[in-house]
Amino acid sequence: MGALILLPVITFLTGLIIMFISNGIKIYSPIILILIIADIICIYQSMKLLKLSNLGKLNKNKITSKQYPVEFEELYKKIFLKNNSEIEKLRIKVRNISALYLLFLVLTFLFVIFGIFIVPFILNSLDIYINGIIYHTLFLLGAYICGYRSLMLFGKYKKEMPIYKKSFKENVISKIVPLVNSNLLYFNGNDIAINIEPEYRASGFDGYDYNSFKVDDYIQGNIEDDLILRMADVIVKNIIQTKNGESSEDIFNGIFVMVNSGDTDDKEKDNNKIVTIYSNVYSINPDTKVEVESEEFNKYFLVSTNDKIYALQILTADVINILLTYKKVYDLDFEIKIRGARTYIRFHIDNMFEPKIFKEALDKDDIYIYYNVLKFIIDFSKELNKVIKETSL
């Protein structure tokens, strides 16, 4: 974020260096290298901040459809008709600020690169005389004005984006969740991280420790009488203090789900039985690997377990079918760990419930993706819980 704020200033300094060089003033070469690196970092940060919020690695071309289910059409109408006008006004405001910010950012670079270096080079090659100092000063002034304007617009973006985001979460996401399942409640904010952070630690997905756990979206409720679901959009990091400040290591960024059967006591004996299902991107210990009869399932997934008989018992045809359908349609990496009464799921989906800037806030295809992901989690959890119950009898 700091690099982004400094972008116009660094661009302006780059322009000064170019001006000095073009007028025969020697500049210490490491300074030039540092400025070039700083420019690249700032440009990257700028595009990262204002890019269209994506849905991780989801293959939207596979998910979206013009033939929406009737139940989704009804859900969409309930959300769209009531909230479209208000949310769309907020989105357009943020979009216009973002577009102007990018425009002035581009103009800043054009003033520096073209005005101070390229244009004078072309004029000189055509033997057209220009007063270098006056010319460069004018273009640097233009770069400074555009850079200053981009900073002001960035300040407006920082002010208006949280308002738009809050309205989107309150009027869209919080409405989708109970419409998919009436027993689920949606919460927004990191203050509820305490409810799911212990579950994440207990899942054992990470083989090393972390010291930063943030939650943006949190969903909780009983999807069946004895089936408790907790789900959150989490960012897990390990922050290390160094001599030069802090450095952070990203451990996980996506959706974490914990599903717990209320019949915990009867399943304590199965807590030592662990079955882990990976989308086919991992290497596992061959001694713990198990394959099912479905060749298609074995193509997309790897299964690791300390009890192969138990793993084959819970990987029924219905469970396999749900997982296969989801993998082929959503094209997404995920991990599932079944440990006794609890099932843990990690979906590698970044910015799942974040609002869009450069497209309609209530884009039907995007709302359909939210609906599908929630529906899959609920359907899979119900089916798996039924199988585990039958296996434990």
The DSSP code for 117 is I
Which of 217, 185, 186, 215 has the alpha carbon at shortest distance from 200? Answer: 215
- Give one word for 24, left, alpha or beta, with left for phi > 0 and alpha for psi -120 to 50: left
Q: For residue 160, is pLDDT > 90?
A: yes
Q: For residue 272, is pLDDT > 60?
A: yes
Query: Which is more confidently placed, 139 or 38?
Result: 139
Tokens of 77: 């109408």
What average pLDDT does the segment 6-29 reach?
55
Tokens of 228: 């408790």
Confidence bin at 66 (pLDDT 50/70/90): low
Q: For residue 3, is pLDDT > 50?
A: no
User: What percentage of the chain has pLDDT greater than the value 90?
Assistant: 7
Q: For residue 51, is pLDDT > 50?
A: no
For residue 101, what pLDDT is reported? 86
What average pLDDT does the segment 166-193 reach?
83
With contact defined as beta carbons under 8 Å apart, do 356 and 52 qualify?
Answer: yes
With contact defined as beta carbons under 8 Å apart, do 185 and 380 qualify?
Answer: no
DSSP states of 2-28 as a string? HHHHTHHHHHHHHHHHHHHHHTT----
For residue 88, what pLDDT is reported? 87
Query: Which is more confidently placed, 29 or 354?
Result: 354
Confidence bin at 90 (pLDDT 50/70/90): very high
Q: For residue 79, is pLDDT > 60?
A: yes
Mean pLDDT for the chain? 76
3-state secondary structure 154-207: HHHHHHHHHHHHHHHHHHHHHHHHHHHCCCEEEEECHHHHHHCHHHHHHHCCCC
Tokens of 89: 């006004």
Helix (H, G, I), strand (E, B) or coil at 58: coil
Q: Where are the domains of the chain?
A: 2-54+84-173, 183-392
- Beta bridge partners, 255, equal 233, 347
The helix-helix angle for 7-22 and 29-50 (nearest 10°) equals 150
Report CA torsion sign: 77, 81, 85, 90. Answer: negative
Tell me which residue has tokens 């030039």: 32
With contact defined as beta carbons under 8 Å apart, do 184 and 178 qualify?
Answer: yes
With contact defined as beta carbons under 8 Å apart, do 187 and 218 qualify?
Answer: yes
- Cα angle for residues 39, 105, 22 (degrees, 5° grid): 55
With contact defined as beta carbons under 8 Å apart, do 56 and 351 qualify?
Answer: yes
